[in-house]
Amino acid sequence: MVKEEFKLDNQLCFRLYTASRLLTQAYNPLLSKVGITYPQYLVLLVLWEKDSQPVNDIAKKLVLETNTVTPLLKRMETEGLLTRSKGADDARQTIVKLTSKGAGLQEKLKDVPFTVGSAVICDSVTPETVPDLFKMLDDIINKLHK
């Protein structure tokens, strides 16, 4: 007989993994209309907040390693969404900047946060409880990221 702590239904990791996977799937049809992937969308979100950032800052904001972000940025550059150039103060630093095409996607995708947000509203997740959910998830992320 399997112990309670080893039952799939008792695993927080499984719930988080499944929710993450299904949430990403909810984004895919919305993003594919403009030809981008979910990871590319995350990079765009970071750059829409503050354009012209070093790769290291983007990776840090996304809680990823630079060696994970760099190939993604290269693909986005090839697709004309951003440019990468050496830093003016430090040639070892690569600065990422949106192109007009990348910046213009913000308007095209303006309904995505609301569409996906509406998709997750349910009995236990309401507009009023979303800030608490964010706080709980942020606490987990911060604890595990240390």
Read off the pLDDT of residues 42-53 as tens digits, 9 standing for 90 and up.
999 999 999 999
Q: Coil, helix or strand for 96? A: strand
Grouping H, G, I as helix, E, B as strand and the rest as coil, residue 146 is coil
Helices (H), 50-99: 55-61, 66-78
Strands 94-98 and 82-86: antiparallel
Q: Which of 4-13, 22-31, 82-91, 133-142 has the lowest mean pLDDT?
A: 82-91
pLDDT tens per residue, range 64-120 = 999 999 999 999 999 999 999 998 887 789 999 999 999 999 999 999 999 999 999
Q: How far apart are the first and last CA of the chain?
A: 36
User: Residue 54 forms beta bridges with which residues?
Assistant: 95
CATH class of domain segment(s) 7-145: mainly alpha
Backbone angles phi, psi at 65, to 5 degrees: -85, 150
Q: Tokens in use for 131?
A: 């800030």
Domains of the chain by residue range: 7-145
Map residue 53 onto helix, strand or coil.
strand
pLDDT at 66: 95
